[in-house]
Structure 1
């Protein structure tokens, strides 16, 4: 008899989720489960629900959508990793995976379908005429223009004044859209037509950049170490920020067949919610997983695949030239007195503001 996953209910009726970055459904399937309290799913007698419910009829499993998780999802993620590596969440209408090994498998294994990350294998076949020198040039130019615009201010918000504009600006310059039309065209539906599926994911790069700058500026020693750092160290810090604070916290896949994972077997045809944020802090994969350490020798991230993709290249270049431009135009740049970055969000996550003193 095969292992059965820890269930609150079965996956019947769960919808397809072709896009891993899309917003997940927030309603439970009618007649299947009932929420009794935040994080506690009451099992309902159902032939598809697997083995009998534990005494009391309750499976104590927190939900990634629990109240308070938008401000601090890490306690929920930790408990899911440790106690419920496989559970069905009626709010997400999907099975939930939270351990690094399982999430990494679901993002790359052909037994899972309906999803695409920039840098996944299809990118290598789709992007054949990319001018890397041009990408670097437009990223550098855009970053320095934006940095100089805020250098003379007594105070600025890097999210609103820099992160919000740099990813869109690099795509606009790369595809030849006039700067004045950047936000109207590149950030709208025209983005996919202009820049392709991967390059159009501007909001993901915005959030990743905001988290990266927040991680760099939140520690004075870290700021000093990266102020004039070589590109290699900046790239390692970028990877570490993607691990610690990924912009997409939950991605969606669907199983093609039964798949054995930690805690049991995922049934074929199931929607699966992958907690990328939880996987990046799995102590079974990373030492001191809650610590930002760009020099770690167990570095990895799950936001992007490992294959070539201009969106992945752009994201790394934006991180590199963001630091070079900001520190070049504002050598004494620091967070405003008393300000600390606070990340929010359930599906995507990043600081909403980064209030800085450009001149120290």
Structure 2
């Protein structure tokens, strides 16, 4: 998955995932581009009016950047397969379909850390050394803000920790880490997976926002063992994934909920919608680290140094912040407000370091 901050982000490195395609019906017939999308299989549970056509919402509709969940809900329920002219792609929103598209060989695969294809590009890493680097960087950053009356954890902590750990791991001087590590230089220094710094930054902001928004979670995770923190991290990735939309292409016709995807089609996978699918998760909008039906789609299940690094950053972020600021809490009246279309996270986390 590539970090793509807004609708224009398809113009990054590599092929443009938003290139224009003809609007195709699930049966493979070409239709005129427009806001009308066809659902091929009424038996899939779609509420299709007489005539078989209606207008589906788009994940890029106005207002979706602030609250995409009503759009995601309607797509899951009424339009499990729909063509979106704004994305120039078919859209999948149900968990089962999105999870399949991320791993099925009938779909071309992007670079998602943890997938089997990415494992072949990695060199060996020492987990103990990586843990020490993350811990040291997190504690330095936490101590820098501990004495302040108020701080923004996004600007003062989340923005720096992922870059700082990569810089320390590859031996870049701290004073130079943001200039040398962020952006394209990160890929050259740490590989394509390790270079996804902005994705880890957003994931960390969402994780801290989820924890600090609930005093019960703060109490449970303040001195929690690594296993519980890891479950909370995975739960945050499920509920609030940093990458909301990933793009794949079909290699052949593929049957999914609602119809058949034609071979050679561009497909937009709504990671954010899939993570809150009530057919897969009980109380999907609730942040619950102890849930017995976990599942996240941000990362694959295989070993990847970047996946290990992201988890360590989440764990030591909590340990360092609560260690340096035992009374840390959100500022009075502040609530985390995630925003973004392609990637999503709180843009600010205003806290009172000393309660």
Q: TM-score, normalised by structure 1?
A: 0.87
Equivalent residue number for residue 180 of structure 2: 185
Distance 1:142 1:262, change over 3 A: same
Report deviation, 1:20: 11
Q: Distance in 2 between matches of 1:42 and 1:297?
A: 36
> Do the aligned partners of 1:123 and 1:308 also contact (CA within 8 Å) in 2?
no
Deviates more, 1:214-223 or 1:22-31: 22-31
> Do the aligned partners of 2:239 and 2:284 also contact (CA within 8 Å) in 1?
yes
Distance 1:257 1:303, change over 3 A: same
RMSD: 2.3
Match of 2:317 among 316, 322, 328: 322
Report deviation, 1:124: 2.6
SS in 1 for 2:178: helix
Equivalent residue number for residue 279 of structure 1: 274
Equivalent residue number for residue 34 of structure 1: 34
* Superposed CA offset, 1:244-281 (max 9, x none): 00000000000000001000110000000000000001
> Do the aligned partners of 2:80 and 2:93 also contact (CA within 8 Å) in 1?
yes
Match of 1:338 among 326, 333, 338: 333
1:125 corresponds to 2:120: yes
Report deviation, 1:347: 0.3
Report deviation, 1:22: 9.2
SS in 2 for 1:273: strand
Match of 1:61 among 53, 56, 63: 56
Q: Distance in 2 between matches of 1:204 and 1:149?
A: 23
Equivalent residue number for residue 49 of structure 1: none
SS in 1 for 2:113: coil
Match of 1:225 among 220, 224, 228: 220
Q: Distance in 1 between matches of 2:123 and 2:191?
A: 13
Distance 1:216 1:23, change over 3 A: farther
SS in 1 for 2:295: coil
5+ residue gaps, structure 2, are 1-9, 24-30, 39-47
> Do the aligned partners of 2:103 and 2:109 also contact (CA within 8 Å) in 1?
no
Runs of 4+ in structure 1 displaced over 6 angstroms?
Answer: 17-23, 26-31
Report deviation, 1:60: 1.9
SS in 2 for 1:251: strand
* Superposed CA offset, 1:80-103 (max 9, x none): 001100000000000000000000
* Superposed CA offset, 1:37-73 (max 9, x none): xxxx378xxxxxxxxx976895221100011100000
Distance 1:240 1:23, change over 3 A: farther
1:156 corresponds to 2:157: no
Match of 2:198 among 188, 192, 203: 203
Q: Distance in 2 between matches of 1:28 and 1:345?
A: 24
Q: Distance in 2 between matches of 1:19 and 1:312?
A: 22
Distance 1:259 1:81, change over 3 A: same
SS in 2 for 1:112: coil
Equivalent residue number for residue 6 of structure 2: none
Q: TM-score, normalised by structure 2?
A: 0.88
Match of 2:342 among 313, 331, 347: 347
